Amino acid sequence: MKILIIILLLALSICIALIIVLKKDIRLLNAMLEKIKQTDTNMRLTTATFDNDICRLCDIINDVLDKQKEMTIFTEKSNKEFRQAITNISHDLRTPLTSAIGYIQMIRSDEIPDAKKEEYLNIIEHRLKSLSSIMNELFEYTQITEGKIEMHMKNINICNILRDNVSSYYDDFTIKNFTMCIDIPETPIYACCDADLLGRVFQNLIQNVLKHGLEEFHLSVNADNKTIIFQNKMKNINTFALENLFDRFYTSDFSRNDGNTGLGLAIAKELVQNMGGEIQADVKDGFLSISVSLH
């Protein structure tokens, strides 16, 4: 009987000791969680106990903390981008409006000759067209990102669409004295795309070359992997972050000249991805290279 009592007492002592150790560990975990809650830290929970349930609880809490940290970073970045976007859009809209209003006030002056008024009217028209272009681009991007663009996917000859779009900008390249090297195969290359949307992608990429390119433009098509490569020399090529080139709110100076919202490449990326393709950018030897891969 005495032996049984001794065994029971030993077992009870061990249980009490384990409970004390577990409570101490729980208090330490509570203290660490309180510190994490009150400070901006990357500290993680640690435990010295060998209890599997406590260890598992620590792992789960650490996973939650990691996800919360990622969400906080994502939210802060999104809020910063949103604030910057509002600032940029306000600037993009205000600039042509302010200019147009200024010329309207000058036209109202009796001291301005009629010939000058006609010139000012042309300037006002240009400013308002620029404003309309900005609004259309913003609307188009919103429609694409919200999935409101209808797509009619079918096998099409991408060379024909590329050839048509490049030829429509031939005069623009000539006026800007570009040296052009165009290599579009005569043999058809078929990919499953929406013809109109693919044309819009090509237009945006060509317009990007015309707005920001310098001297040379190279266009080639890799028939094996259905990849179209746009290459052009860039002015101020070292002033932007390549990894942000397709970001919707990217605000590098080179992408915001002449009332341009900088959404052209973001729209191209969204359209290509919606058609199941990929678009990438690279910089080498002073050339910006943008490749569009289709399937």
Q: What is the pLDDT of residues 38-47, one digit of tens each?
A: 887 778 787 7
Fold of 46-148: Helix Hairpins (1.10.287)
- The pLDDT of 236-251, averaged and rounded, is 66
Rounded CA gap, 137 and 130, in Å?
Answer: 11
- The pLDDT of 159-183, averaged and rounded, is 93
213: enclosing H helix or E strand: strand 213-222
For residues 163 and 132, which has the higher predicted lDDT (pLDDT)?
Answer: 163
Query: Can you give the pLDDT at residue 255?
Result: 44
CATH architecture of 154-293: 2-Layer Sandwich (3.30)
Q: For residue 232, what are its two tokens?
A: 């052009």
> Mean pLDDT over all residues of the chain?
84
**Where does CATH 1.10.287.130 sit in the chain?**
46-148
> At 79, is the pLDDT very low, low, confident or very high (cuts 50, 70, 90)?
confident
Query: Which amino acid does the sequence have at 25?
Result: D
DSSP 8-state code for residue 30: H
Query: Can you give the pLDDT at residue 241?
Result: 66
pLDDT of 272 higher than 90: yes
pLDDT of 289 higher than 60: yes
Query: Can you give the pLDDT at residue 249?
Result: 54
- The pLDDT of 130-156, averaged and rounded, is 86
- The pLDDT of 257-282, averaged and rounded, is 83
Query: Can you give the pLDDT at residue 257?
Result: 44
Q: For residue 160, what are its two tokens?
A: 């024909």
Q: Does residue 268 contact residue 279 with C-beta atoms inside 8 Å?
A: yes
- The pLDDT of 69-80, averaged and rounded, is 85
For residues 276 and 14, which has the higher predicted lDDT (pLDDT)?
Answer: 276
- Specify the residue for token string 């990622």: 70
**Where does CATH 3.30.565.10 sit in the chain?**
154-293
Worst-scoring range by mean pLDDT, 62-76, 81-95, 119-133, 217-231? 81-95
Neighbours of 140 (CB within 10 A): 16
pLDDT of 254 higher than 50: no
